[in-house]
Structure 1
Amino acid sequence: MGLTSNKVLALAALLAVAFFAVTVWLWPRLARRTAGAVLGRIGLLLGVQLALFAAVGLAANNYFLFYGSWADLLGREQTPGVVVDHSAGAPGAVRVLATRRTDVPGGGRPEEAGRIQQVVVSGKKSGISSPAYVYLPPEYFRPGYARKTFPAAVVLTGYPGTAENLLKGLKYPRTAHEQVARGAMRPMILVMLRPTVAPPRDTECVDVPDGPRTETFFAEDLPGAVSSAYRVGTRARNWGFIGNSTGGYCALKIALHHPERYAAGAGLSAYYRAAEDVTTGDLFGGDRRARDRANLLWSLEHLPQGRSSFLVTTSEKGEGNLRGTREFIRKVRAPARVSSITLESGGHNFTTWNREIPPALVWLSGRLSAA
């Protein structure tokens, strides 16, 4: 059973309850002051504490997906990277490593539930290779759509999240499937990954001097590679970007600076200025212009705005980006457009983002079209 299995969580919870019941039952018998009784009480208390800690830890990991497997938890995940060769001039490549079912009814039939492919995307210009998941909707496998293209959206987690968060915790494929089924949005391909393309460093989706060229990867390599591997168009109107927290900042940043590549960017609980701390290191090499450009509010004020559409989310209580979001909205000007979701209350967490993802996907679908 895997680390994130519900059976493992249920077993841990049952063990915690069992240890508690045994402690209550045996405690009167161990009330004496003998060495054996004292050791017995210590053992029972430790057993209850460890069982409770394991259950709570597994529940938290299942929700936030800090670790994806036992090997990941124990530091034994040593699988080497995948080397992909490219021909000269190629925009990049997508290599499929595995295929998995979607968490919807009829998951065994791709024409009913779609498919999720575990891939490695390699970029020629940036030199970056990153693991990702690609969700292909059911329509992609139906004969009536065999010659049709689909819009696509890049979906990013926050830092230092894992791409698994987007499948299990935030349920992007399932939500997209449900929204298409109810007629609220068009079928769309989702390219899901984390912004940490050079782990463990947080590059804030910028091209770091003498370092990872993360902006180039997301703005040029990724859409080029995916369009060459799947039935996705290459124009801006075919591509959108969505993410939460750091991923939300990246979505807005890439859409703002590259309207020729992305028609829309949605930032859920996004911030608006690149973080600079021990996880990022020196992102700009003393280049003030580059630092200013990574400040989205500065960019809106001082740089030309293209035809991209933006969606920003916040809440009146619980989010720290309320003021920045309002300022972002004020600074957007034509031909760009901006929309927003403001919750009455909601923190910086999965519960809040799961409330925002359905309308955000519907909004994104309305800004994109097939080739």
Structure 2
Amino acid sequence: GYRVILVTSGAIASGMAELGVRPNPNDIVFKQACAATGQSILMAHYREYFRKHGLKVAQVLLTKEDLSNRVSYIHTCNVLDRLLQLGVVPIVNENDVTAIDELIPVTKGYRVNFSDNDILSVLIANAVEADMVIILSNVDGLYTMNPEDPKARLIPVVEKVTDELKRMVEGKSKLGRGGMKTKLEAAEIATQSGIPLVIANSKRRNVVSDILSGKRVGTYFKPAGKRMPAIKRWIAYGTSIKGRITINEGAKKAILKGASLLAVGVSKVEGDFRVGDVVSLVDESGTDFGRGISNYTSEEINLIKGMKTSQIRKVLGYIRQKEIVSRKNMYLMEGEAS
């Protein structure tokens, strides 16, 4: 049989129904209170539904930092794997009670890893090395134009998420109906990580079993090449970006040939980050071409940028690593071998 992880929403809506209150989208604490009330109700529904089929469920609430922190990420992977081994269906949701973007300090170069369940689902798929992601929507899949237009045609297979496809979704054609923009982003993450993804209509009878049996349902996004190593998948998609390191042209050329980033290649640092945080690698034109795990804090790098490795000890009193970012802990963007 199949081992399934379900990514869900609905805690806030369940809480509002339980409390008998009207939506108040501008009140963050109100939404948190509704989420806290609704989580147990939502899980009770899932427990009842799955129990009819002899299955047990477990609630897994995650925040952005749970996936951004490497140790927490590994623990999350281990817990999900153990639940699946036990025959339990994990029900995953963002922890709306504590996880709100407004509480995260906004610093230059900081970028969060997920903002909705479409993205969360593919990050979880990456974490557990899933064989497939199925995103259920209120439309049948990706269309050539607004699904309400009689001329619109369902796209059964997408070979690659191209810039043209992204522009179609972001344009005025309303191709993005059904939250298609974030679904396309999710599809790009999944396929670039080597995982196929299907977008289909949740109202279709037996939709999941039909997809798993190989029937042509919705839009199928083909995986691109072989699967990335686990550490690179996490660097590329699983974690938030905590800062930016601008490097000179010589250092960029060396990195593209397989070298690590040394202090001598650094020209500028932005953001406030710690050892082990993931940072963007930016060239002198401002183009973000990669990311990697920093071996030094932003404060330390500001002190040693542009220096040779032999000079670091004189300034800091120690050398933690010869590299600012090691090549093995680095991911380069599409079109550049990583």
Bigger Rg, which one: 1
TM-score (norm 2): 0.29
TM-score (norm 1): 0.27
